[in-house]
Chain A
């Protein structure tokens, strides 16, 4: 069956053989967007976190049919070296990643958090950010999340996601 959705601001039509196929696999294997990662397949680690209508969703456990007619944003659509999203800018300034595998999921979860709470407290961060990082970059991530909140609020910057 054919499904339509908006992916990183582009209208997309995909032909899926199984409408219950996880969105993650369609993005990675059919559409070739590898930035969203497979970690556990059970929505337990958050490596596959992306945005659907601005909300954080774990795409490994999200049947592709539910994405129909929705706006999806992945790490590839967040920003670029020429035009970084404030969250990516903060991640760079704090030199957060180590192995890097879980980082797109964390950045997407952070964007969703800042959409809801523009200036989160440590307690807000603890509650909202529940992904797993094995390298233990949480310490720098927390700093980067606060920094991203600051960058978001400077007039010249701003997220439209």
Chain B
């Protein structure tokens, strides 16, 4: 039995902890500057490009973060979810070092909302470790101090005589474990936060410790939302339309009602659901329901591309320096990127149990607080009456920042009076994804007589990313004027160019688009870095020098310069084609982390083959260098997949395809055999890791193809047959 210390009459005192949230800061600033002019907007947007949507929750009280078990282990209740990015491991390293326990004594669990440790924001934006770096160290150090003071009192010794090692206090001949102290203590004081340790004193932080969830994931433990069960559980399914923009008119459920295994049909204003004894029975019954949908019109891919074209919709100048390029002076390229699916392997699903005055909801979610709020709102319950139990995510990638299915499962559970588990079919996953929006870009550049960039402009259009998301205050788009997600990577990073600007166009799409790992970064970097490469080639310039001289002399630009130089050196960058292989280089900054990549590519049997990718990245201080590398490898492969194979298309009014395979993705045979990674440490604080390496990959591959074929590819997925 775990020894719970939560709620044991803590005395609130002398708190040093603050809510550290870049977003909170931005919110305040944004409101304050509402009436100001566009230059302020632009500076806000450049902030948004690097901002931390870190953490909004309670960092004042160690009691809601830690629990000490009988076995003298420490459970860290994480308000951030683990979706593969390695956050749990890094958090455990940080906590172990400041708590003075061994890594082996650390356990990490998702904090159910009933613990009170609730993140008002999300797990996303590559901010979990960087955002919790300071508060978690303070919490752990305070927890250690609290135990030390209590233990010293119990032993009747001066706190200054107490030594701590692996969760055991000792003073003279006396020893007490953390568990002994926890059991004996009635009332706790929250002491003043002691001085944090020096980086050099850390035993685990900064080391490539194996993932804390490794064994669970290798031996097949039931840790995912999909694996959740409750006694007496039923299965649900919800009718969904196949055509974009469909409106529900009515449904004939008479056949479904008579089908074997069906327990109940649920009809609500906004959905029709089936509850059955098994998932198969629920699916079969759902498929027998005749739903009358009214679909607006049969949209086609050409209509979508005509809509997503620079010049349509409203525009915002998000960056402006010097004068605009005249078309007759400028070299211009146009680019298109497609609708992208998340395609995470674990379908969205949820297990909900609604009782008289409370609800329990188990699921994979990146927005624990929002899930709870939405379920409580629909059921007319207080938020405190809904306990959201987050699980490990079978992939997040931004897909789980929307959880309306939790509301549907809760409604079904309430209707039937038993727990209901419900998850999406793969067709529903593909057709009702919250997609990465399609984009169109015009990039213009001008090289002066000396061979240096004189002007660079990025004009681009995208569907929503951050806007219309429950995470964003509704007023934000109006204030900032642009979608802070769509513009990620969209501003010109080469600010030493005398004339540079970025103009964002917003178009409303007839289907939902939203957060997809790295947001606008993948598409925007593809467009800009392809054009920079083309301009260097046409001016007969070295691609490294051409970039370096265009970068300013400020902190972030210096770090970007360093990764560009490092990647070129490590890859042995050359313009020569060796053994049929060419290299392509590209670089980007995302969320304050610069990253450069070189792809080594050949053409084999008419297809692009990526043999090797070299990555240089400066994420600041790496809490776990092995997991930083794992994120680089993963981003390279996911980015390769997205840039070489993946696209959703609008076909006769529906989104297609509806299954893996036809939705082409990178497989084992496509993955590079070599991924060489150099990590630089330009700051002593942990920075963003999970998304920045997705920036350069598409342009790096495409730039290599340019050298092999003489052809500049301008569309994702990259296609050699492009005309």
Contact = CB atoms under 8 A, between A and B. Distances in A.
Interface of A: 17-18, 21-22, 25, 29, 32, 34-42, 44-45, 47, 74-76, 78-81, 84, 88, 91-92, 95-104, 107, 122, 125-127, 129-142
A100 B392 contact: yes
A100 B668 contact: no
B710 interface: no
Contacts of B393: 99
B426 A39 contact: yes
B210 A92 contact: yes
Given A44-B426, A136-B641, 5 more contacts: A35-B219, A74-B220, A95-B626, A102-B394, A139-B671
A2 B7 CA distance: 52
B278 interface: yes
Interface stretch (B151-159, B310-318, B524-532, B627-635): B627-635
B667 A130 contact: yes
A68 B626 CA distance: 45
B668 A138 contact: yes
Nearest to A138: B671
Nearest to A40: B426
Contact of B668 (A74, A75, A101, A126): A126
B355 interface: no
A11 B221 CA distance: 22
Nearest to A136: B637
B470 interface: no
Contacts of B394: 37, 99-102
Interface of B: 83-86, 210-211, 213-224, 226-227, 229, 260, 278-280, 342-347, 392-397, 423, 425-426, 626, 630, 633-638, 640-641, 659-661, 665-669, 671-673, 675
| A interface SS class | loop
Contacts of A21: 278, 280
Contact of B659 (A40, A134, A138): A40
Contact of A135 (B222, B223, B634): B634
Given A130-B667, A138-B667, A80 B673 contact: no
Contacts of A98: 84-86, 630, 634
Residue picked from A21, A92, A95, A104, most chain B C-beta under 10 Å? A95
B217 A103 contact: yes
A78 to B, nearest CB: 8
B211 A47 contact: no
A125 B219 contact: no
A95 B630 contact: yes
B666 A91 contact: no
- A-B pairs, top 6 by smallest CB distance, nearest first, are A35-B220, A136-B637, A101-B394, A99-B84, A100-B217, A98-B84
Contacts of B665: 132, 134
B219 A25 contact: no
A55 B255 CA distance: 40
A104 B630 contact: no
Nearest to B211: A95
A134 B668 contact: no
Nearest to A129: B668
B214 A97 contact: yes
6 contacts: A29-B278, A44-B660, A78-B219, A92-B210, A101-B345, A135-B395
A44 B227 contact: no
B447 to A, nearest CB: 36
A30 to B, nearest CB: 9
B227 A99 contact: no
A81 B636 contact: no
Contacts of B86: 98
A132 B220 contact: no
Contacts of A91: 218
B694 to A, nearest CB: 10
B646 to A, nearest CB: 11
A27 B394 CA distance: 19
Contacts of B423: 38
Nearest to A87: B218
Given A18-B280, A99-B396, A39 B346 contact: yes
B395 A134 contact: yes
B634 A127 contact: no
